[in-house]
Chain A
Amino acid sequence: MSRDLSPRTKLVLYGVLLVLSVPFVFPTWWMVTSSLKPVSEIFSFPPQLLPLNPRFGAYQRVFDLQPFGQQYVNSLYIALLVTVGTLAVSALAGYAFARIRFRGQNVLFLVVLAGLLIPSEVTIVPLFQMFFKLGLIDTHWPLILVPILGAPSVLATFIMRQFFLGLPGELEEAARVDGLGRFATFWKIALPLSRPALGAVAIFTFLHSWNLYLEPIVFLSSPEKFTLPQALTQFVDAYGGPMWDVQLAAASMTALPVLVVFVIAQKQFVEGLAHTGLKG
């Protein structure tokens, strides 16, 4: 559909694109600017697109009301650990299912794939009970172990397998003939070639862990254990109403760093997701 367009058509298209981008951009803009407004200005009519006199008081209160620094660290270390763990588990399993012949392979692959049919919401009740029996409620273990080993990593394994199947096998065969063992072949030949797939898996695994909400509120109860999504909803006044300025300040601090990383690396983000396994 990429044909040359007349200047008038181009103008119309730019107009449409600009209007369409408002609901994608405005909320983030509104989040950051409103977090800098005093409460009196936050609901003023007509809406102020820029704060009249920006102040950072709400940002200070985020840290006064919650152990927000600790919560930030919690979310970050859990997401990083889950990402690294998922990459390891899914690359190994994906490689084996794609390249190594072993007895029962197809059946075992189907057993693993069953995870795609069983979202973690289905198993949240027994998972809670299992971790309760192990004494791991109000710890981060469920938020780390389940994503790495359970249903969420199955999609990653599937994507890695598809990617390895698409790689030409000659290089690996040559390496094997030269006497390289399976693990060395995997580590030195196949893994470096699979960087695009690893990148895509890393991005969506990180985001998945970073966004988790149901699991933290089920498993965690003390504020210093909370993750960010859970912490964001805790800034309420004595009547349970949201303290908007503080919530928006906390939300800005949660959203902006990832957004900045995305803008810097947007090419890898978008193209990685589009051109690897997710294509099916």
Chain B
Amino acid sequence: MTRTDTRVGPATARPTLGRRRPYWTGRRRDQLTGYLFIAPQLVGSAVFVILPLALVVWYSLHEWNVLAGTFTFVGADNYATLADDPNLGSVLRATGLFSVGLVVLNLALALLLAVLLNQKLRGTTLFRTLFFSPVVVSLVAWTIVWGFLLQDNGGINGLLDTIGVAGPNWLRGEGTAMFSVVVVQVFKNVGLNMVLFLAALQAVPGELYEAAEVDGASRMRQFWRITVPLISPTILLTSIITVVGSLQVFAQIAVLTQGGPGTSTTVLVYYLYQQAFQFHHFGYGATLSIVLFGIVLALTVLQWQLRKRWVFHES
């Protein structure tokens, strides 16, 4: 929609004036509306997702110390550093332990709670509210309270003491720190998966159980042969949400253990934060970001494979 008509221009400027169909047909208008509707999201993705991703790759090829003001191209040096990093093994191990521990405990507990709440029982709404409530409690507030409870002289060891058990120093012990962080996170968010499982369980047709009952199948058998296959899409969905979420864990580590004792709870994002924002190694921080991205990407591919093979049905 240029304003060529008010200008003196070449005669070819608008050769078909008057004979042409109007440019703004309904279809074209609709297309334009479509572009306008997605414009904020698209521009936002370009600026805040795609561009930073490209920059992460670029930065990872540089030695960059913010304090010293140096930014030099070093090729694959950061990746060589990564391969030689004595902490890398421990960081990946901590990340894996946290993810696996969280997914297993979270899904098992979520399914157990959902099955319990799916019984014909008065007051299940009350319990559903109770189990879900930590989801809406501020993450850091929840973590601080658990940190308080898990102190050596805190509430949990106090309760254990009243039954004659001497509890360990949960957050300072090599063996118990990671376990504690996982448990704190499980209780924080298990309500979300529980609700998703509950919705899936309620969608399982009751006749299937009646038929199985007639055939003399035990409750356990019904659970494994009917319930689990029918809710497998939800099991897959919740495990994906939980795994990807587990890779992003940061506040819990920062508040509860600061990555310790030693480096036993230093997960990838916490290590990335330390390298980039505490030690000011931005180039190496970017390299660690790539590792994180690689893991998320690999898990997504794996998820697509599993979805094809394992999930019982897809609606």
Mark A residues whose CB is within 8 Å of B: 1-5, 10, 13-14, 16-17, 20-21, 23-25, 27-28, 30-31, 34, 43, 45-47, 88-90, 92-93, 95-97, 100-103, 105, 108, 111-112, 114-115, 117-119, 121-130, 145-146, 148-151, 153-154, 157, 181-183, 186, 207, 210-211, 213-214, 217-218, 228-230, 232-233, 242, 244, 247-248, 251-252, 254-255, 258-259, 261-263, 266, 269-270, 273-275, 278-280
Check B206–A124 contact: CB distance below 8 A.
no
Chain B residue at minimum C-beta to C-beta distance from A85: B40
6 A-B residue pairs with Cβ-Cβ distance under 8 Å, sorted by A, are: A2-B118, A89-B41, A93-B42, A124-B272, A150-B47, A213-B254
CB distance from A47 to the nearest CB of B (A): 4
B98 within 8 A of A: no
- Docked CA distance A218–B118 (Å): 43
> A211-B251, A279-B237 given. 19 additional CB < 8 A pairs?
A5-B119, A10-B121, A17-B127, A21-B130, A25-B130, A43-B153, A89-B41, A117-B300, A121-B269, A124-B272, A149-B43, A150-B44, A153-B41, A154-B41, A186-B37, A242-B147, A262-B133, A270-B195, A280-B234
Indicate whether A1 sits within 8 Å of B115 (C-beta atoms), given known contacts A47-B155, A129-B282, A266-B129: yes
Which chain A residues lie closer than 8 Å to B100 at the CB level?
A: none
| B161 interface neighbour in A45, A230, A269, Cβ under 8 Å | A45
Instruction: Kindly list chain A residues whose C-beta atoms are within 8 Å of the C-beta of B173.
Output: none
The listed residue with most A CB atoms (<10 A of its CB), out of B55, B116, B133, B300, is B133
CA distance A229 to B144 in the complex (A): 10
| Contact, CB under 8 Å: A124 / B31 | no
With A123-B53, A126-B52 known to touch, is A211 a contact of B139 (CB < 8 Å)? yes
What CA separation (Å) do A30 and B43 show in the bound complex? 46
Among B45, B119, B223, B285, contact of A111 (Cβ-Cβ < 8 Å): B45
A14-B53 Cα distance, complex, nearest whole Å: 51
B106 interface hit (Cβ, 8 Å): no
A149–B40 touching, CB < 8 Å = yes
* Most chain A CB atoms below 10 A, which of B51, B136, B151: B136
| Contact (Cβ within 8 A) A105 B34 | yes
A213 near B37 with CB under 8 A, answer no
Contact partners of B250 in chain A: CB under 8 A: 121, 213-214
